[in-house]
């Protein structure tokens, strides 16, 4: 009887655990899927312990979708252990058609182990070609560039140079180190555009989740580009994939369990000073009189916080005279990222049209 009771309790616990990806910047899905999971999880913990469990769950999900173990994310070729993310990336790279795509991995843009990027170049397209410069997600604390080899292959096979970059991770690297890494990597691409066969005037930045927050910030706060001798004019367009952290102060005030869990990720990476959080918030850096690159933003249609933040951001950018398109799509957080690397998806086609609108692809 005791054994039967133990089995039943174990079965109930396993059924109560969240099954869908429900995080924000580390993973994610729609609030309609998230709420039942959070309510069930609350039966087992409360207060800070509950938030810790949620944060650990988000990180496990992010590790599965953004690069395996933290060791694998800490720097390929940097003497760290090879986790499932590195294995997945190697398999994806092995599937790339070498007749169509040239791949350069772990190209250094700085001296730190994480300051490296991968370059996917079309072999059969004539330049100069547009570039998509990509930043991975992972709650600002995990993830790696190699997880997006499929995107690199797909975009290069369609006549676009794709650059996937790493950046240093929290908690070791906190704001502004991460965005400074992103700016340094972008500046490297700009300075090497000619030798890459790229058009230096057609450089697009794209990011998913936490990476989307970073590229959105790069495209709104000129300070970090200015430190590299560049300006917002050097970014032709910004493609943002499903972030709900366009306003970090607002995100921290979200009283939902998801908001609290993501809030801990934000404070780990950015701290809690409202002035610093505003500096790191894309929405807070939109001002009249400033010329911004064009924005194409995607968000999960059922993610209430994400849709709300995109509405405020787009209104602010339009009021400042900027051009912005927001697409609310019926996809989960991870599905949006995956679709951005699949040529038959609507997201891929819309991004291609966004890039194509600035000049003819060869």
User: What is the phi/psi pair of residue 300, to 5°?
Assistant: -65, 125
CB 258 within 8 A of CB 24: yes
> What is the C-alpha to C-alpha distance for residues 282 and 248, in angstroms, rounded to an integer?
9
The predicted pLDDT at position 98 comes to: 84
Residue 120 neighbours by CB under 8 Å, 6+ apart: 96, 101, 102, 103, 149, 152, 153, 155, 156, 161, 162, 163, 164
CATH architecture of 70-356: 3-Layer(aba) Sandwich (3.40)
Average pLDDT, the chain: 81
E strand or H helix at 236, and its extent?
Answer: none
**Residue 185 has which token pair?**
């990597």
The sign of the torsion formed by the CA atoms of 292, 212, 340, 88 equals positive
Write out the DSSP string of 57-88.
HHHHHHHHHHTSSHHHHT-TTTT----HHHHH
> What is the C-alpha to C-alpha distance for residues 348 and 353, in angstroms, rounded to an integer?
9
Strand partners, 133: 163, 205
The predicted pLDDT at position 246 comes to: 97
The predicted pLDDT at position 79 comes to: 30
Domain ranges of the chain: 70-356
328 in helix, strand or coil? Answer: strand
- E strand residue ranges, 123-180: 129-135, 161-165
CA distances to 78, 241, 321, 325, 336 from 331, in Å: 35, 11, 30, 17, 6
**Average pLDDT per consecutive 10 residues, the chain (362 residues; last block may be shorter):** 47 38 37 28 37 50 42 33 46 72 97 98 91 97 96 97 98 98 98 97 97 98 98 98 96 81 93 97 97 98 93 98 97 97 98 83 48
């Amino acid at each position: 009887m005791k054994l039967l009771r133990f089995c039943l309790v174990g079965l109930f616990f396993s059924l109560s655990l969240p099954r869908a990806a429900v995080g924000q910047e580390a993973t994610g899905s729609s609030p309609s899927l998230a709420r039942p999971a959070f309510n069930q999880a609350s039966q087992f913990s409360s207060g800070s312990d509950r938030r810790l469990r949620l944060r650990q769950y988000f990180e496990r999900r992010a590790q599965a979708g953004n690069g395996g173990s933290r060791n694998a994310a800490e720097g390929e070729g940097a003497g760290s252990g090879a986790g499932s993310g590195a294995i997945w990336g190697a398999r994806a790279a092995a599937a790339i058609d070498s007749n169509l795509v040239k791949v350069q991995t772990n190209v250094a843009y700085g001296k730190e182990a994480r300051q490296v990027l991968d370059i996917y170049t079309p072999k059969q397209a004539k330049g100069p070609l547009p570039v998509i410069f990509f930043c991975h997600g992972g709650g600002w604390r995990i993830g790696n560039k190699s997880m997006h080899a499929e995107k690199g292959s797909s975009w290069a096979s369609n006549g676009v140079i794709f650059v996937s970059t790493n950046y240093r991770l929290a908690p070791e690297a906190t704001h502004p180190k991460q965005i400074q890494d992103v700016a340094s990597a972008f500046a490297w691409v700009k300075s090497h555009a000619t030798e890459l066969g790229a058009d230096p005037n057609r450089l697009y930045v794209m990011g998913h989740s936490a990476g989307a927050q970073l590229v959105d910030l790069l495209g709104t706060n000129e300070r970090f580009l200015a430190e590299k001798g560049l300006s917002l004019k050097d970014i032709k367009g910004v493609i943002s994939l499903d972030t709900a952290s366009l306003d970090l102060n607002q995100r921290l005030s979200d009283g939902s369990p998801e908001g609290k869990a993501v809030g801990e990720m934000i404070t780990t990476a950015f701290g809690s000073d409202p002035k610093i959080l505003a500096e790191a918030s894309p929405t807070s850096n939109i001002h009249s009189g400033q010329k911004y690159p064009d924005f194409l933003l995607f968000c999960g249609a059922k993610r209430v916080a994400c849709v709300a933040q995109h509405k405020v951001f787009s209104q602010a950018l339009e009021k400042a005279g900027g051009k912005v398109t927001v697409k609310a799509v019926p996809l989960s957080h991870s599905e949006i990222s995956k679709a951005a690397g699949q040529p038959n998806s609507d997201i891929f086609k819309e991004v291609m049209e966004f890039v194509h609108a600035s000049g003819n692809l060869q």
